[in-house]
Amino acid sequence: MNEPILEAGAVEQGTSLWKDAWIRLRRNRLAVFGLVVLVSFVILALLTPWIAPYAYDDQNLDLGATPPSAAHWLGTDIFGRDLLTQILYGGRISLAVGFVATAVALLIGVTWGAVAGYVGGRVDAVMMRLVDILYALPFMIFIVLLMVVFGRNLLLLFLAIGAVEWLTMARIMRGQVQTLRQQEFVEAAVSLGLSPATIIWRHLVPNALGPIIVYTTLTIPSVMLLEAFLSFLGLGVQPPQTSWGLLISYGAETMEEYPWLLIFPGAALTLTLFALNFLGDGLRDALDVRGSTD
Amino acid sequence: MRSFICKLLTPLILLLLVGCSAGESNVSQGNREGILHFGNGSEPQGLDPHVVTGVPESKLIDALYEGLTRKNPWTLEPEPGAAASWTFSEDRRVITFKLQPEGRWSNGDPVTAHDFVWSWRRALDPAMGNLYAYMLYPVKNAEAYATGKLQDPEQLGVRALDDHTLEVTLVEPTPYFLQLLDHYSTFAVPRQVIEQFGEATDRFTRWTRPGNIITNGPFRLTEWKLNRRIVVEKNPHYWDAEAVQLNGVVFYPTENLVSEERMFRVNQLHYTNDVPLDKIPAYRAMPDSPFVEAPYLGTYFYLLNTERPPLDDVRVRKALSLAVDRAKLARSVMHDLVTPAWSITPPGTLGYQPPKLFGYEPERARALLAEAGYPGGEGWPGLELIYNTSESHRKVAVALQQMWKDVLGIEVTLSNQEWKVYLDSVSEMNFDMARRGWIGDYVDPNNFLDLYLSDGGNNNTGFSDPVYDEMILERAPQAKTREERFRIFHAAETRLMEEMPIIPVYTYASKHLKHPSVKGLPPNLMDFVNFKTIRLEPVDVHEFEVP
């Protein structure tokens, strides 16, 4: 942000970081749009079992694939299943994978990177070499191995994806922490006798939030795509359960005959990804501590 | 993440490049150079005729090797292959084959009767673990040798009288025996190369790699790029090389039907292995359509593991089978391409009609399930259905999954597996329920019924009935007339279907897209491709416009 948003007096009143950010976020229209879209998708996903017009596995083979109509707003697939219902149920899985796996990645990555960056020295070297080694592993093989060893279930799928997505997050966090810990406010905190854990969580992490949030909003869509890919290989969600990624991959098979089977799930995913990107941009600007104190 | 996006985008970009660029397409280049570009379904499990069991493998092996006979693709009659001629003894139990005097391996060595004797011993060796060993059971002592009851291979009914004369002694006069000789489990394999890379009975050694392998068929292997392509070229040492019109064949693993169809449309393939179900109506409506459909001697069914609960209860197996509305499946999911199947043998195989013991009977299915202790699906422990990755298998599985849920109130979970993994799971009986297709290796009901012999390598269900074994192995071969033989088959098949170790779903139809320049590749009941008779007569089709 170029212009100072808060008046000089406001800083002295001591608004919290979060309140500050919220005020700035609200002024960013695109970010608000993103937030509204996301929140409504999440609400729809939560309410799906009550609002879906049909049961998600309700087939009508004689009906087959039909274009959108009054009975089926978004049409039906080749089994005569209502596409709107499929998208609603698919959204539950896709959003859950997106958020849970990203949260796992965030938790591991931020902690790992912050500790490595703060402690430095030999610990840092060892921790980051481990990250390098994991990077070198073909991640698909890693996920496939996890799924094969522990069997197939949805929660594990979330964790497995999270467990391979944290590496970049750790690197970004380490870089941020390394620059931040040279600064005076960290030295001040150290001289006040705060424990390293407190310093990391109270001082370093909030200051590194910008890049982390941007990267998070990028991770969510990539995780959703990864889930679709795994499901396609038979390692993720299996029919009749579905996800947006699966709906799109099935829709692409028949896009010439039944285009609506690709268009609507594609639109749902695209809209979510846009919303995430706008929100991510807005959050980064809103949370940029340095920008606000100018 | 990048690798995933690449995986997704690369084929699309390639397709765009290929579709738009002025560069020469596979088809026009192939037409010019005499190279056939052939969609072959899955990546083959291997090229050892005594190891593999699948259809994609059979296409490759038919191009590379040659049995004593070779089928005519129009009539399916056995014609001279590695054997130039044969004579039957009076009682039709001894056949004397004269091998081609000019028969040669692809390195120029002669193909001798000793090669066949050695190969048949290998095919039957219990240590080989050949799932198709029973194809040779009509040969004297073959069964005893393959099951370990007889140790001495000299007693097998196959002898080399001299380098070019092979004598085969049968247990019974077997009407379809000459057809068996065009099946890869009876082919000769190169002893010298196999022994160079391990024991005779080692599976998956390096002998089948390009550079190592030598074969006696019309083509020889030049390149094998895993999951990309397998290239064979004309074998100059083949005895009938002059009759071979193609200079080579490129086999593509085309597991994804949609990509395969797109490759065909932009002239990257001469011939597809399959056609996506949803495209069939459009192709049927096309004038001068490249779409070829034909009845196919094969049955699509689900294997039930009768050794695992709850499928160890015949009532549960019947309930599952009776709850499947086959007519509806054939009509709506399969676009009327296939016909419902009620038993293992395709109807009309040599005029034989299999028994039809049941129909779509939801009421009776529910009653049977209730009797077995799961009224309305209560207390159902769950089942997993495995299938090899393919859109059409998935569609059938999803439709049946729902029928079981609607009719019986039970949950069946689905799990797709890659072809080789799937084949392993099936042969190790590591499944509850598994999708299975059986394609006739020769035109005779016996080919379907001997699957369920107690020790049959392709039984995979745990079904075992000594009476059934006796009918198929003893009584049917001794039958005096075809009618009597078929009556025995009918009785045996009735016994089989009363135990329901499988759920028959439909009788196959073969479907392909064939470029108009491809000649000498007629549709036939066995979907048999004789690469020897195929020729290319260039016809220019810029791109196929599907209405």
**DSSP code, position A2:** -
**pLDDT tens-place string over residues B126-140:** 998 888 888 899 999
**Any chain B CB within 8 A of the CB of A57?**
yes
What is the rounded end-to-end Cα distance, in angstroms, of chain B?
A: 37
Q: Which residue of B has its CA nearest to A252?
A: B258
Which of B266, B402, B546 to probe the A interface (max A CBs under 10 A)? B402
Chain A / chain B CB contacts < 8 angstroms: 74
Please list, in sequence order, all residues whose beta carbon lies within 8 angstroms of the beta carbon of residue B187, skipping any fewer than 6 positions away.
B49, B61, B65, B66, B67, B119
Report the gap between the CA of B414 and the closest CA in chain A (Å): 6
Please list, in sequence order, all residues whose beta carbon lies within 8 angstroms of the beta carbon of residue B506, skipping any fewer than 6 positions away.
B299, B300, B326, B329, B330, B334, B338, B339, B340, B341
Nearest to A222 among B1, B401, B415 (CB): B1
The list of chain A residues with pLDDT below 70 reads 1-15, 17, 147, 151-152, 232-234, 288-294
Report the gap between the CA of B23 and the closest CA in chain A (Å): 26
Token pair for residue A206? 């909030």
Show residues of chain B in contact with A98, CB under 8 Å.
Answer: none
In angstroms, the CA A224 to CA A228 distance is: 6
At residue B510, the 3 state secondary structure works out as strand
Nearest to B333 among A61, A225, A226 (CB): A61
The enclosing H or E element of B405 equals helix B391-408
**Any chain A CB within 8 A of the CB of B6?**
no
**B89: Cα separation from own chain's centroid:** 32
Cis peptide before A240 (omega within 30 of 0): yes
Report the gap between the CA of A51 and the closest CA in chain B (Å): 22
Q: Taking the alpha carbons of B150, B152, B153, B155 in that order, is the dihedral positive or negative?
A: negative
Show residues of chain A in contact with B398, CB under 8 Å.
Answer: 59, 79, 239-240
Q: Answer yes or no: are the C-beta atoms of B190 and B213 closer than 8 Å.
A: yes
In angstroms, the CA A104 to CA A80 distance is: 37
**Any chain B CB within 8 A of the CB of A266?**
no
At residue B230, the 3 state secondary structure works out as strand
**Any chain B CB within 8 A of the CB of A240?**
yes
**B464: Cα separation from own chain's centroid:** 23
Q: Buried b / exposed e across A134-160, counting CB within 10 Å, b at 16+?
A: eeeeebbeebeebbeeeebeeeebbeb
Q: What pLDDT was estimated at residue A291?
A: 53
Nearest to B399 among A61, A226, A253 (CB): A61
**Any chain A CB within 8 A of the CB of B279?**
yes
Report the gap between the CA of B370 and the closest CA in chain A (Å): 23
What are residue B302's phi and psi, to 5 degrees?
Answer: -110, 130
Show residues of chain B in contact with A57, CB under 8 Å.
Answer: 402, 405
**Any chain A CB within 8 A of the CB of B402?**
yes
Place of tokens 């439709």: B399
Torsion of CA B440, B444, B447, B453, to 10 degrees: 160
**Any chain A CB within 8 A of the CB of B392?**
no
The list of chain B residues with pLDDT below 50 reads 1-21
Nearest to B415 among A59, A234, A254 (CB): A234
Q: Which residue of A has its CA nearest to B335?
A: A64
CB contact under 8 A, B5 and A240: no
Nearest to B398 among A79, A138, A222 (CB): A79
**Any chain B CB within 8 A of the CB of A190?**
no
Greatest Cα pair distance in chain B? 71
Neighbours of B219 (CB within 10 A): 26
Q: Which residue of A has its CA nearest to B259?
A: A253
Chain B 405-444, residues with CB within 8 Å of chain A CB atoms: 405-406, 413-418
CB contact under 8 A, A239 and B4: no
Assess: ipTM above 0.85: no
Show residues of chain B in contact with A64, CB under 8 Å.
Answer: 332
CB contact under 8 A, A256 and B3: no
In angstroms, the CA B90 to CA B129 distance is: 35
Q: Taking the alpha carbons of A127, A132, A133, A137 in that order, is the dihedral positive or negative?
A: positive
Report the gap between the CA of A119 and the closest CA in chain B (Å): 30
Chain B 527-546, residues with CB within 8 Å of chain A CB atoms: 546
What are residue B432's phi and psi, to 5 degrees?
Answer: -90, -50
CB contact under 8 A, A239 and B278: no
In angstroms, the CA B80 to CA B71 distance is: 8
Nearest to B4 among A226, A238, A257 (CB): A226
In angstroms, the CA B139 to CA B158 distance is: 8
**Any chain A CB within 8 A of the CB of B329?**
yes
**Any chain A CB within 8 A of the CB of B286?**
no
Show residues of chain A in contact with B331, CB under 8 Å.
Answer: 61-62
**Any chain A CB within 8 A of the CB of B10?**
no
Q: Which residue of B has its CA nearest to A234?
A: B416
Q: What is the DSSP string of B14-30?
A: HHHHHHHSSSPPHHHHH
**Any chain B CB within 8 A of the CB of A144?**
no
Neighbours of B428 (CB within 10 A): 9
Token pair for residue B205? 């050694």
Show residues of chain A in contact with B279, CB under 8 Å.
Answer: 256-257
Q: Which residue of A has its CA nearest to B8?
A: A229
Q: What pLDDT was estimated at residue B269?
A: 93
Q: What pLDDT was estimated at residue B251?
A: 95
Q: What pLDDT was estimated at residue A15?
A: 66
**Any chain A CB within 8 A of the CB of B7?**
yes
Q: Which residue of A has its CA nearest to B399?
A: A79
Show residues of chain A in contact with B333, CB under 8 Å.
Answer: 61, 78-79
Report the gap between the CA of B407 and the closest CA in chain A (Å): 12
CA–CA distance from B309 to each of A119, B273, B433 (Å)?
57, 37, 11
**pLDDT tens-place string over residues B476-507:** 888 888 889 899 999 999 999 999 999 999 99
Q: What pLDDT was estimated at residue B7?
A: 47
Q: Answer yes or no: are the C-beta atoms of A18 and A54 closer than 8 Å.
A: no
In angstroms, the CA B81 to CA B99 distance is: 9
In angstroms, the CA A129 to CA A65 distance is: 52
CB contact under 8 A, B417 and A257: no
**Any chain B CB within 8 A of the CB of A142?**
no
Please list, in sequence order, all residues whose beta carbon lies within 8 angstroms of the beta carbon of residue A179, skipping any fewer than 6 positions away.
none
